[in-house]
Amino acid sequence: MNRRLQPPIAIAKRLLLPDWALRAVSPSAPKGIIRDARSWARKKASDHADDPRSTPPCWFWDADPPELLALADPIVIGEPFVGPPLRRVLVSNRSGLCFIRNGRVVGYGGAVLSAEGLMFSEFTYAPWGRKVRDHPLMRRRRFSQRKRLRGCYATVCYPSSRGYYHWMAESLPRMRFLLPILPQLDGVFVPGDAPPFVRESLEAMGVDPDALISIGVDSHYECEHLFVPQYSGGLAVPQWVGDFLKATYTAHGVLDIPIPTRRIYVSRARAGQRRIVNEAEVSSRLGQRGFEIVRLEDLRFIDQIRLFNEANCVIAPHGAGLSNLFFSQAGIGVYEIMPSRRVPPHIFHVITSQIGGRYHYACGTPVGDEKPRGDIDRDFMVDDALLEEILRALDRNEAIGPADSTRQLS
């Protein structure tokens, strides 16, 4: 390092305020972290135990214990993944609903704070893979004036909710705990500047669009009664997620569970990353086999889930569009093409297993420059040899009929 730069850097470090000083400068800043909402709720409830007529300032309702899942091995086409062994036994996260009196919802990701200003780690994702203690709100100096809302409100926000997979697998399923109390809610916080699928998916569940409150960088709400569903998909999506989504949209007349007959190839030609560079050849060969070439970005949310509900075979490069597999039917054949042998086939293997499908994966050859996140974001090629192997796998028709590819262990 240049010695002339050291003194200014050292001065800058000394000028950084410690956490306690930041909280003194900004009373709205988080004052600490609640790492176990259940224990916190029990402690709060115990403080009111002497007067059974009083309403506790919070409670936690446990809905589901963790699920233990055992996965069958995926079917490999061509050369396999070369990383650590794929997980075959997974444990999902537990889920429930927390009630917080005078709870706060703050910032772009909808961080949840207690009335005392403590941040809930279970309800607040720190962006970019950071720990909750490193959340940007912890060191923010200026907060907008809080807007106090009387009545009952709920939130389904996470920082990553604007992405299709994270919305479908981690945020939208939280509505399972809010639909029973929807008539009592005065509003639901949702990600601001989000793609249309966020509001479309909620409206298709029967949520009044006028009840949706968009969250942005400067948002700062204090709710008289705040309801926060706890659920985090992670790598192990529990069985109830797909069951809930499919049943809910069927009950609202969005899906009618037809006999699946469509064969689809999902194109990422317009995506900014993870494109198949020789897609014209791939789609031409698949088109000759009766596959529809679809671009999901051209479809409304309802049309996407209906498409997958009617499909008996899906081929796609790795991408969020495969989240629509939640709505597919048992027996579907899924062929996922990974950008390289260094990208593990995982989450869509889990979802395919949950719906009773048969999962295949193939690994392409990455091309172009390295990406900050590695091969997962690189464009890639499906060479002639690999394409022929995929076509032979289709000819074998291994995906026909229900697949016993997952077991939930009690």
Q: What stretches in the chain show pLDDT beneath 50?
A: 1-15, 22, 398-407, 409-410
DSSP 84-134: SPPP-EEEPPPEEEEEEEEEEEETTTTEEE-TTSEEETTT-PPGGG--GGG
- Amino acid, res. 339: P
List the chain domain ranges.
Answer: 12-56+95-232, 242-409
CB 319 within 8 A of CB 269: no
Q: Positive or negative, the Cα torsion across 191, 193, 194, 197? A: positive
The pLDDT value recorded for residue 18 is 57
User: Tokens in use for 235?
Assistant: 């790598």
The pLDDT value recorded for residue 62 is 92
Measure the CA–CA gap between 336 and 317, rounded to whole angstroms: 6
Structure pTM? 0.88
The pLDDT value recorded for residue 7 is 44
DSSP 196-241: HHHHHHHHTTT--GGGEEEE-TT-EEEEEEEEEEE---TT---HHH
CB 104 within 8 A of CB 112: yes
User: Tokens in use for 270?
Assistant: 């317009």
Look up tokens 């109830």; give the residue.
240
3-state DSSP: the chain helix, strand, coil percent, rounded to 5? 35, 25, 40
CB 44 within 8 A of CB 51: no
CB 105 within 8 A of CB 223: yes
- Amino acid, res. 20: W
- Amino acid, res. 395: D
Closest CA relative to residue 56, chosen from 123, 102, 101: 101
Measure the CA–CA gap between 371 and 397, rounded to whole angstroms: 36
The pLDDT value recorded for residue 5 is 43
The pLDDT value recorded for residue 9 is 38
Q: Which CATH number fits domain 242-409: 3.40.50, 3.30.60, 3.30.470, 2.40.50?
A: 3.40.50
The pLDDT value recorded for residue 221 is 97
The pLDDT value recorded for residue 125 is 76
The pLDDT value recorded for residue 404 is 46
pLDDT per residue over 332-359, tens digit each? Answer: 999 999 999 999 998 999 999 999 999 9
